[in-house]
Amino acid sequence: MIWPTAELHIHIEGTVESPFLVAAARRNGIALPTYDPAELSARYVFADLQSFLDVHYSNLTVLRTERDFHDLALGYLERSAAGGVRRAEFFFDPQTHINNGVDLAVVFAGLTSAVQEARETVGISADILLSFLRDLGPDAAEETFRAALPFRDQFIGVALDSTEIGYPPSLFEKVYAMAAAEGLHRVAHAGEEGGPEYVWEALDLLGVERVDHGNRALEDPALVERLRAERIPLTVCPLSNVALRTAPPALKDHPLRRMLDEGLLVTISSDDPAYFGGYVDDNFAAIEREMGLTSVELATLAANSFVASFISDEQRAGYLAEVAETLTVAESLASTRALGE
């Protein structure tokens, strides 16, 4: 079953599939360790977040031109639309590209034209979140934010990613206040590798509307209560967590089970699908298969994604009706199967 969903935790740079990487490297004359896409993908075995980020940032030197960013984002939007995604709110890391010598105007031009094209061709609604690299520190984030202000109408919010431990949300209070003053949405990665205190800080000091990952919030009962009471969404990425060893190796042991049981507003996303084994539909298929989630639970996750997304109430109502219809179909298929057994 393909569930209609909103994908809320997706790094556009993490959608750089190996064949695309090789093609862009050849076009732009950038050296890669190998030009065999299968060999590149075979190297994607990670011990933790940092070991992934090292490979990821090294790959991203291939992205140079407006076309590169356009084709990357369009490829993601088309692929995810085919997997049921109706709405995507994707991150990009401006600092990575600026540090690679690419002008911010080039990045925005490519991404924004892809968003427009995909809306027309495959009917997906998408918006862009500007994400700061926490390991480059608060001054760099503020400088990046000021550099992005001329493009204010091309992104709807700010985010925080990269190496978590040692770079707590508190460092970024000022830049988040600047974003709030601009009327931008605010989200942040917290509790992926960092402890519950990172999630508290993201809520209390950055004023985030959603927490990206948030897995380690479960270690603190008072925090779980806060997330539940305030209906704060967690954008959970099951296949990413297994690949980066931030969850147990077997999906059946993933904290998603407890999050659902605790009544948290959990959503499912793919994070960096080119590296972690799949897109949102692949994540749904994996949790259904490995965790034995019921159709009602899968529908809840799909509905939660629209509840948590930055869309109008009218759009939300339309998407939620679609989730309800899909649940009806899933349940009738299940009862037909049961009758045949």
Annotated binding site for Zn(2+): 9, 11, 189, 271
Identify which of residues 96 and 326 has a Cβ nearer to ligand HPA in the complex. Answer: 96
Any idea which residue has 């749904």 for tokens? 284
- CA distances 2 to 8, 55, 81, 85, 317, Å, are 17, 31, 11, 9, 19
Q: Which is nearer to Zn ion, 69 or 275 (CB)?
A: 275
Q: Which residues bind ligand HPA (CB under 6 A)?
A: 11, 14, 49, 161-162, 189, 192, 240, 271-272
Contact 68, 113 (CB under 8 A): no
Radius of gyration of the chain (CA): 19
For strand 185-190 and strand 210-213, is the pairing parallel, antiparallel, or unpaired?
parallel
CA distance 6 to 76: 13
Is residue 193 within the footprint of Zn ion (CB under 5 A)? no
The nearest distance, CB 7 to Zn ion, in angstroms, is 12
Is residue 13 part of the annotated active site? The answer reads no
Q: Which is nearer to ligand HPA, 286 or 327 (CB)?
A: 286
Spell out, one character per residue from 85 to 124, where the chain touches Zn ion: x when CB under 5 A holds, - when not. Answer: ----------------------------------------
Edge-first strand listing for the sheet containing 234-236: 5-7, 85-92, 125-133, 157-161, 185-190, 210-213, 234-236, 266-268
- Tell the smallest beta-carbon distance from residue 11 to ligand HPA (Å): 4
Is 201 an interacting residue with respect to Zn ion (CB under 5 A)? no
Minimum distance from residue 90 beta carbon to ligand HPA (Å) = 11
Nearer to ligand HPA, 49 or 327 (CB): 49
Q: Which residue lies nearest ligand HPA, judged by its C-beta?
A: 161
Give kind and range of the element (H or E) at residue 96.
helix 94-99
Closest separation in Å from C-beta 234 to ligand HPA: 14
Per the annotation, binding residues for substrate are: 272
Rounded distance between C-alpha atoms, residue 200 and residue 177, angstroms: 17
Q: Among 192, 193, 201, 322, which one carries the catalytic annotation? A: 192
**CA nearest 94: which of 117, 70, 69?**
69
Task: Give the footprint of Zn ion on residues 266-285 (CB under 5 A).
Answer: 271
Residues carrying an active site annotation: 192
